[in-house]
Structure 1
């Protein structure tokens, strides 16, 4: 644990590394800080080929590789949002082998927990994860929209290449 946690439930946030999940992580940290609660950041992963095929041809090294990738993604999310552990709140990072919605509902097993999810702006329909969590979570669910990118900037970002980020005059 990175600090002192509260006793009135936890703030549980789903992290994937997307812009929406980074916004959710920031909002969840704020909720945890305001309520004196512990922040649990959860990243759920499955083998890319799916569990059924993995069970037919199990490969422990392959599974360890994907678990390490998930762990690196959640660590990057904390670095991008806070520059490391968020100050002033107790945090735990959980890497869970499961479907994201099911993992979040299983972890958020207290009525005074709060689940925080990110959502892409402008989506008319909820994602499968949002539908699952809102239907099965036994606690409150907070949806945080990702920041919007202005239309002109989106167009410009589509044309950016890796060479645009190289150092000039090395």
Structure 2
């Protein structure tokens, strides 16, 4: 996770934050890199917490900027471990931790002819859209390369709904599960 090195191969640059959507995008980007014979460049962009909306909150603890960068690098290694089972991709390329807002950082990184920029998309409510700008919209408007927006896993919405019902202590609807078990073929 050092300075980028030049390469003649095309690249698949993917935004990684550690969120479920970014992990889905990372897995898709790996497949794209393999099928295109391209390098995979996972990028985690970070900003010190004293910028933007977080500056209005009281600080939790005074943490030096270098510590935040180390935490960002660890978050990227953790995300790679989640998707690949190890802290590297097993695909040629380079993992980067970039200081800056995610949209501009990803557009600056995916700046070569032949690059493909991959992002996780979807799953943003009205409040979230109002408070935080969309990285995907920024990249679509400013990138000089194709942008692939990967929708969240179909299970993500179901899981979110289950968590919400559980948090509100609402009864879970399991009627469809009973029907599936009733119509399942008997074991042979």
Point out 4+ residue stretches in structure 1 off by more than 4 angstroms.
121-125, 150-153
Of 114, 130, 145, 2:151 maps to 145
The more displaced of 114-123 and 29-38 is 114-123
Q: RMSD in angstroms over aligned alpha carbons?
A: 2.7
Residue 56 of structure 1 corresponds to none
Shift of 1:152: 6.0
Residue 26 of structure 1 corresponds to 27
In terms of fraction of residues, the more strand-rich structure is: 1
Gaps of 5+ in 1: 54-59, 161-170
Partners of 1:12 and 1:108 within 8 A in 2: yes
Counterpart mapping for 1:152-167 below 5 A:
153-158=159-164, 159=166
The more displaced of 103-112 and 116-125 is 116-125
Residue 185 of structure 2 corresponds to none
Shift of 1:123: 6.7
Once residues 47 and 15 of structure 2 are traced to their aligned partners in structure 1, the CA distance between those partners, rounded to angstroms, is 15
Of 79, 86, 91, 2:89 maps to 86
Shift of 1:121: 4.3
Which one scores higher on RCO, CA 8 angstroms, separation ≥ 6?
Answer: 1
Once residues 77 and 30 of structure 1 are traced to their aligned partners in structure 2, the CA distance between those partners, rounded to angstroms, is 16
The more displaced of 97-106 and 42-51 is 42-51
Larger-gyration structure (1/2): 2
Shift of 1:120: 2.6
The SS at the match of 1:112 is coil
The SS at the match of 2:154 is coil
Once residues 43 and 151 of structure 2 are traced to their aligned partners in structure 1, the CA distance between those partners, rounded to angstroms, is 18
Counterpart mapping for 1:88-127 below 5 A:
89-121=91-123
Shift of 1:106: 0.7
Gaps of 5+ in 2: 2-6, 56-61, 168-188
Structure 2 CA distance for partners of 1:30 and 1:150, relative to 1, 3 Å = closer
| TM-score, normalised relative to structure 1 | 0.75
